[in-house]
A = this chain, B = another copy of it.
Amino acid sequence: MDNTDEKYMRMALAEAKVALAMDEIPIGCVVVCDDRVIGRGHNLTERLQDVTAHAEMQAITAAEETLGGKYLDRCTLYVTVEPCVMCAGAIAWSQMGRLVYGAADDKRGFRKYAPEALHPKTIVEQGVLADEAARLMKDFFKKKR
């Protein structure tokens, strides 16, 4: 973890807080290329009633739109919580250069169901501002009970 990672993870956390304000599961994501944010997203599954509307999916679609290309091998994806199987699959198809996530998700995270799903060249880093990401999730689900 360096300062740059923290800086972009704070942006992902800001996206998560937008989701929270909409009563969505608070997960946020940014995709960064050459020190520029080229895609961002937050969970919108309830608002859109669409299971594919995870933060990562939207950020990847946005980043590819910005670049005009399908491959994000020179980019880093920052997401506040470990990606699920679906999002790990999308990250793999994009050949993402680097994946940085905050809190682990031992229940729904890709490492449990598809530990080999990512592209072999994708560098993975976990635990960046994990406490803050986990706290957002915990508070959200506590209120729901």
Q: Which residues of A contact B (CB under 8 A)?
A: 45-46, 49-52, 57, 60-61, 64-65, 68-70, 84-90, 92-94, 113-114, 116-117
- Quickly give the copy total for this chain: 2
In the bound assembly, the distance between CA atoms of A94 and B70 in angstroms comes to 26
In the bound assembly, the distance between CA atoms of A21 and B46 in angstroms comes to 35
**Residues of chain B with a CB closer than 8 A to A93's CB:** 45, 51-52, 84, 86
**Residues of chain B with a CB closer than 8 A to A69's CB:** 49
A51 in complex: contacting residue of B52, B60, B85, CB < 8 Å: B60
In the bound assembly, the distance between CA atoms of A117 and B87 in angstroms comes to 12
In the complex, are the beta carbons of B85 and A89 less than 8 A apart? Answer: yes
- Return the chain B residue nearest A72 by Cβ: B51
**Residues of chain B with a CB closer than 8 A to A45's CB:** 70, 93
A-B pairs with lowest CB-CB distance, top 3? A86-B89, A85-B89, A51-B93
